[in-house]
Structure 1
Amino acid sequence: MSSQETAVKQFIDLINSSSNDPNRKAVTPAIATKFLLARKFDIPRAVALFEQHEQIRQREGLYGFDPHVDPLRTELETGKFTILPGRDGSGAAIALFTANLHYPMTVTHKTTLQGVVYQLDVALQSADTQKAGLVFIYDMSTSKYSNFDYDLSQKILTLLKGGYPARLKKVLIVTAPLWFKAPFKILRLFVREKLRERVFTVSIPQLSLHVPRDSLPVRLGGTFEIDHSSWLLHCYKSMTNREDEIIAGVGPQQQQSNSSAQATTMGSGGTSTVTTAILDPHLAGGTIPGATTDLAEYVSGHRRSPSSNVDHIGVEDIADLTAAAGGVHHHHVHHSHHHHNTSSELWSENPPSSASSGFSDDDSLAGAEGDPKTIEQIVQMVRERGKQGLIREYAEIKARAPDGTFTHAKLRNNLAKNRYTDVLCYDHSRVVLSQEDDDPTSDYINANFVDGYKQKNAYISTQGPLPKTSYDFWRMVWEQHCLVIVMTTRVMERGRVKCGQYWEPVEGAFVEYGCFQIRTIAVESNEDYTVAELEVKNIKTDEVRCVSHWQFTSWPDYGVPASAHAMLNFLQRAREKQAEMVKSLGDLWAGHPRGPPIVVHCSAGIGRTGTFITLDICISRLEDVGSADIKGTVEKIRSQRAYSIQMPDQYVFCHLALIEYALSRSLLQSADLSGFDDRDDDSE
C-alpha cells in the first residue's frame, strides 16, 4: 500500500471514529483525497479542515439545495460568481467574484454562498484543481459602497481559507476603491495563518502579473469574453451526470462511474441526490441551440482523466464545451500550462503588485534579515575599513551579474522608451501600465517597484521621463495613486539634458500629456530644493488629484555632496509631505499606512535614486529598531532595480550620511572618523 493510500485510510478511520452522528454520510476515499491534497497530505491538518468544512456547510445551509429552484437559480444566473475557463501559470483554477453585480439588500448570504460552493464543487472535480489549488479574484471595478457586503466577504474568505478542500493560492482584490477599508480587516484573518503574502490589491494592469492574460476576460485586461451561460450548463450537466466523487491519484482504489443517471445537488461532503437527469439550456438565461444533444454527445466522448477511470470534465475544458454547446466562439484555452504567453513565464509565484498589497504595518522585506548593525557598530566598521575598504565592498556587490531578465525592455517597440541603452528595467519587478489600443507593448515604462522598510513596493524607481514617455510617466503616477514625486537631478546639468520637463515650473501654468492635464498650483523655492504642488486632472473622467513634486537641486555636478545635511533635510520633508497627504485622504486611502509608492527618479533612475531610497530605508529602520544594514539594503534594491547605487562614492556617502543623521538626532553622541579618507588600499 502506498503512503498516499495509507494516509487516505487513516483519514477515513479518524473521521468515521470521531463522528457520533448516525445520519452523517460515510467518508469515501475520494472525499478523503480532496482534503488530504488541500493540506499536502498532512493528516491532522486535513482532518481539521474537514471538520471545519462540515461545520460551515451545516451552519450556512450549504447541503441539499437544488440549483434549478429559485432563489438559487436566479442567483446563479447573475454571473456575479463564476469559474474562469483558464488557469494561472501553476495550474490553479480561477474563481471570479464581480462586486458590482451583488446587491446585498436583494439576496441572502445563504443563497450567495450556495451559488459559490455549487460552482466550486464542480471546479473541484478536476484533478488539476485538487492538486494546484484556487486563485480567488474579487473584482471591485466600478462597484459602489452599496455593492459591498462585509459579512458576506468575511464568510466567503473564511470558507476558502479554512473550510474548503482546495488550497487557496492567492486572493486578488482588483481596483479597490479608495473608500474600501473593511477588506483590510478581513485580510488580517490571513495573517495568523501566514497567508499575508498571498493577498494582493492590484490594478487591472497588475492583474496580469499574477494570472496570464489568456486566462483573463477582456474587462480585466485579458483576451476573452466571459461565457457564464456555458459554464452553468457544464455545472448542471456535471452535477447531474457524475459519480458522487472524483478520486485524484489514489491508485488502485479508484472507483468506476456507475451512476451516470443520478443527479447530485451538492458535492464535497455528505450530499443529497435526486434521481433526475435534467439538463435545461434555458437555465443559463438564454437558449443555446442544440445544447442538450451536442453537449451530451461531447461529454460521452470526452477524454478520460489521467487520474481516474471516470469520464471527467475539468474547468480547462469549458472552451470546448462552449463550442459543442452551440458554436459559440471562445478563446482557446491551453490544456498544458506550460505554454502561456511570454510575459507570464517571467513572474515568480508572488510577483509584484501595488503598494496597497501591504495591509499590515510589519509587511516587510527589510526586517531582521541580512547583517544589521547598531549605529555605534556602523561607525566602528566605517572607521576600521576606511573609504577604500567600503569602495572594495561596493565593488564586490557591483561585480555580481543582474539576477533577472530584461525581456520587455529589449522589445523592439520599447527600446526607444529607455533613456539609456545600458540601463534597462527588470521584468520581475517592473511597473506594468494599462494596455492601450490593443498594443501589448503599451504597458511598458522603464520603472521598477522597490520595497521599503516594512512596506512592499514603497517606491517606484524610474528614469527621468523622455518627451516621448512623459504621458506614460503620468499614466503610471495616476494608476498607482502616487502622491509624491522625488526628483534628484536638474533638467540640465553640464550642458546636457538629464530629464524632460514633464511639469511646468511656473505657478499657474499647465501642460497636457494625452488625457492628463498637469497644472502647477504653487511653487516653493529653497536653497537646496524646489517644491511644486501639482493638480493632475484626468480629462476623460474629470477626476482631479493633487501630487507634490520635490526636486533636489544642490547635488553637485560631480561626485556626491560634501555634507549630507541638505539631502537629509530634503528627505525628511518629502517623507513628512507623503504622511500629510495620506492623512488628508482619511478613510479614502485603504492601502499601507505609509501610502502609495513614492516615485523617485534622477536621470537613469539608479544612482541618486538608489542613494535616496537606501538612506530612507536605513533611516526608517534605525529610528524603529536602532539598527541598519546598508550593504543588505543596497543588495535588496539592486535585486529589484538593476544597477542601483551606480558609483562607489554613492555607497560611501550612504554610510557617512546615516552617521550624520544619527548625530543630528542624538542617536549617536560622537563619531571619530579622522583619517577615514587617508586609509591606504590595504586597510580594512
Structure 2
Amino acid sequence: MAANLTREEEQRVKLFTDEVNLHRHRLQQGAIAWKYAVKFLMARKFDVKRAIELYLAHQDIRNIEGVDLIDDNDAAFQQELASQKLTILPSRDSRGACIALLTARLHNPAQTKHQLVMKSLILQLDTALESYTTQRNGMVFIYDMTESKYSNFDYDLSIKILNVLKERYPARLKKVLIVTAPLWFKAPFKILRLFVREKLRDRVHTVNIKTLSAHISRDSLPRQLGGTLEVHHGQWLRCCMATSSSQNTDIRNDIDNYFHTYIEPPSLTPDGSSSGSQIHDTNLVISDMESETSKETVSEKHSDEDREKEVTVEKDNVKSPGAPEKPPLKRQRSPASVRLGEQHKNVPSLPCKKKSPADKDDFEESIHQPDANGLTVEQLETYTRRKTRRGLCKDYMTIKAERPAGTFNNARLKNNIAKNRYSDVLCLDHSRVRVTPVDENNTDYINANFVDGYKQKNAYISTQGPNPKTFAEFWTMVWEQRVLVVVMTTKTIERGRLKCGQYWPLEEETAEEYGDYIVINSGSRREENYTLTTLILQNLKTGESHDISHFQYLVWPDYGVPHTASAFLEFLFAVRKQQAERTLELGSSWQGHPLGPPMVIHCSAGIGRTGTFCTMDISIRRLADTGLTDIPTTVRKIRSQRAHSIQMPDQYVFCHLALLEHAQSIGLVPELNLTGFEDSSSEDD
C-alpha cells in the first residue's frame, strides 16, 4: 500500500529530512530514507518540530538497547522472540490499527535481561510499522494479565515499555488494554498511569475478557482472549527477520498480507487522523479492577470461653478461617516461558518511604534498663526450685490482683467498643497505638499498645488477633509504624473456636485488599514448628510497598503451655534474626533504634502468649547484657503498658522454666536441678 501523502504532507517530510540530515551529517551518517522519515511524521501528525524530537529520542533508545545489532546466532534473543511473550496479531481493529499482545504469564523477571525484551519489542514494532496502514492508523497494545502472578510482574520493565511507547517510538498508540488485572496490580497501575501524558492516560483501560470485545471485535482477538483468531507467531517472526536482514522492497507487501483480518480504515481528515470517534467507556477504566475486590464485612462472634468474655456483635455467615475468599487461579507454566530481570539505571523507582511516627521515640528511655536488681542464673534456678510451681502461681496471682496502671477511656467509647475482641481486654490510653481513621466513625483507635523492650523504646506492638472489622486498622498500623515483622502465636481456630481472623492472603501469589492497602502473599516456608510467609504490603494511595515477614507459631498446645521451651526458643530467635535482616535492608532510610521498628506480636487477646513472648525476649536480652534476670519486675512493667499481659499462671511459670532452659542451652549452667518443683498439678490455660 502506498503512503498516498498529500502535497502539504510531502513538503513537511522534505522539511523534516533536511533538518535531520544536517544532524546525521554531523555524526558522519548517511541521509535518512524517505520512507523512514514518513514514519515519524505520521506519528506526530506531520508536526515537523515534534517529529524531529521523536526521531532524536527514538535514536537514543535504539542505541541504548542495541536494537540495530541483531545477531542471528544470539540464542537468548532467539528464545525471547520465540517465547510468544510478545507478538503482533494478524488482525486489526475496526479502525485499521495493528494489535500488539504482551502475555504477562510468560514473563519471568528473574531470568531474562531487559535488553532482550526491549530488542524483541522494537524489532516487532519496526516490522509492523513497515505497513503504511499501521503508520496511518496506529497501534493498540494489549497487556494480557490473565492467570499471571505477582512474580511475573516487572515494574521497571513496564515503565521502560510505557516510556518507549509514549514518546520514543514512531507509532500512534491508540490505546492500552490491560486484561484481567489481578487485585495486587491496582497500586502499580496507579503509579504507571502517572508516567503517561494526560491525553494517553484516558486511553489506558483495564478490562476483562467479556468487556474486551467493546474495544476489539472477537474475530480480531486470539482464543486466549475470547476471540476466534488463529495466531501464527512463526509466520510473523519470518517477517521480522526479513525486515532486519533484507533490503527486499517487497517485504512491505508480505507484511500487509500478514494482516489478513481487518476492516478497511475510515476516511482520513486532512491532518491524517481518523475521522471516526474514539471508544470512551470510563466505566471500563477502573471498574473491572474494582470488581475483583473481595472484602469480609461480617463480625466474628465466639462462644463463651473460660476466663474470657467477648463483646457481643452481630453474626452473619463467618467464612472458614484459613480459607481464602476465592481460590487462586492456577496455570501450568508454559515451556516457552522466558527469563527477564536487569534494571536500567534510568528507570524511576518507587517513592521513598517517609519517616514514620514510630521513629521519633526510638531513643527515648525504655522502662527496661540494666540495674543491680535481679538474680543470676544459679540464683534463679534455686529460687524456682524452692518456690515450686504452686509458689510461682501464687506470686502470679499477686501480680494479677494489682490494679492496671492507667485508664481505658478510648477503648470504651461507643465507636470503639466493637473493635475490642474481648470485653475485658482493653487498651490502655497512655500507651495505645493511634492509626489514621479508616472508616466513617473517624476514630484513631485500634486495640494495640506500644510495649518497651530491653533498652529499646516501643520495641513491640502488643495487639489482639485482628477480626474482619479491624483488618484495615491492623494493616494501617503496620504501614504507619513501618513494621517489618509480624508474630502470630495462635492458630486461627483452636478447640473449635475462632481465635483470630484470616487477615492475610493464605495462598501463595494471591492478594487481598484491606482499606487503603493491598497485601500480597509472595511465598511461604513451613518449618517444623512455625510458618514464615513473606507478604508485600502496598499503599494504594502512594504506590509504595515493602515486605513484611509474617511468623505463625503452630505448636502451642490448645491447653496449657509447651512442655519444653526448645521449640519456642527456636521460634523466638528466628524472629529476632529476621527482624535484624529486614532492618539491615532499610539502610540509611531507618534512623531509629538499631534493632529496628516495632515488631507486632499478637495471639487472640494479645496478652497471654503475646506477653509470654515479650517477657522471654526482654529477659533473654537482659541476661545476655548483665547476667541477671528479674521476671516479676519485667512482667509488671509489661503490664503497665499492655494491661493483663501474662494472662495465666502457667504462662508465668513457663517464663521461669524457659529462661533456665535457655541458660542451660548456652552453657550458663551445666545441669538443671529442679527436684521437688512439681509439687502440685498445673492449671490449664
Output the TM-score relative to the length of structure 1: 0.47
Which has more radius of gyration? 2
